[in-house]
Amino acid sequence: EVKLVESGGTLVQRGGSLRLSCAASGFTLSDYWMKWVRQAPGKGLEWVADIQEEGSQKYYVDSVKGRFTISRDNTRNSLYLQMNSLRVEDTAVYYCARGGLPRCFDLWGQGTMVTVSS
Amino acid sequence: QSALTQPPSASGSPGQSVTISCTGTSSDVGGYNYVSWYQQRPGKAPRLMIYEVNKRPSGVPDRFSGSKSGNTASLTVSGLQAEDEADYHCSSYADGNNYYVFGSGTKVTVL
């Protein structure tokens, strides 16, 4: 079965750090761009970051630049999001997604909740 | 980049059609044929329904169709079924070196 499973979400204080993981199965991770998307409670989706197949190119939404780092380990079939200097407005469900079709998100995980308290 | 504009809600009776709009600018929807649509049922992950404006991934019923005119994209669901009740989000590739924007989402209710 082709799937993505996120983990690592929890309650963290403002200014803290957290690392999210996404385990891929049923396909070869190194063949795809991978992405993180978040959804604040009751809000729409927001693209967070992209990483190219081999990890050499990374892109971020302006609001997380300098604070979040996307990375991957293709040998472990895993995607990561290191989140530092967390803000209350980073509170959201974080989804990992695959870029298997042109410029879109063709496979999603079930999400992991990150809550940043003040 | 600003979020794309979608109506908060839309509805239709079973068997009818509903169309959802997604309005952006020439820097996103109007500038690229990379509009996609996602269905999200309550408490569930999004599911890709349309990509590249009007293409359906394998497994998506042909009741779902997409189009674009200028800076506005649209998703039409024909022959509404109870299972189509969900939130629908649009997305577009945008100017700015590999950048994506999403809409605010539209809740579709099957009456």
Dist CA A101 CA A114 (whole Å): 28
Q: Over the stretch A84-110, which tens digit does the pLDDT of each residue have? A: 999 999 999 999 999 988 899 999 999
Is residue A9 scored above 90 in pLDDT?
Answer: yes
Q: Any idea what the Cα angle at residue A66 is, between residues A62 and A72, rounded to 5°? A: 95
Q: For chain B, say whether A27 makes contact (Cβ under 8 Å).
A: no
A-chain CB neighbours of B93 within 8 Å are 103
> What average pLDDT does chain A have?
96
Is residue B26 scored above 90 in pLDDT?
Answer: yes
Interface of B with A (CB under 8 A): 3, 32, 34, 36, 38, 44-48, 51-52, 55, 57, 89, 91, 93, 97-105
Give the DSSP letter of residue B34: -
The three-state (H, E, C) secondary structure of chain A, written as one string: CCEEEEECCCEEECCCCEEEEEEEECCCHHHCEEEEEEECCCCCEEEEEEECCCCCCEEECHHHCCCEEEEEEHHHCEEEEEECCCCHHHCEEEEEEEECCCCCCCEECCCEEEEEEC
Is residue B19 scored above 90 in pLDDT?
Answer: yes
A-chain CB neighbours of B47 within 8 Å are 108
Q: Over the stretch B68-86, which tens digit does the pLDDT of each residue have? A: 999 999 999 999 999 999 9
Q: Over the stretch A63-82, which tens digit does the pLDDT of each residue have? A: 999 999 999 999 999 999 99
CB contact under 8 A, A104 and B97: no
pLDDT band of residue B12 (cuts 50, 70, 90) is: very high
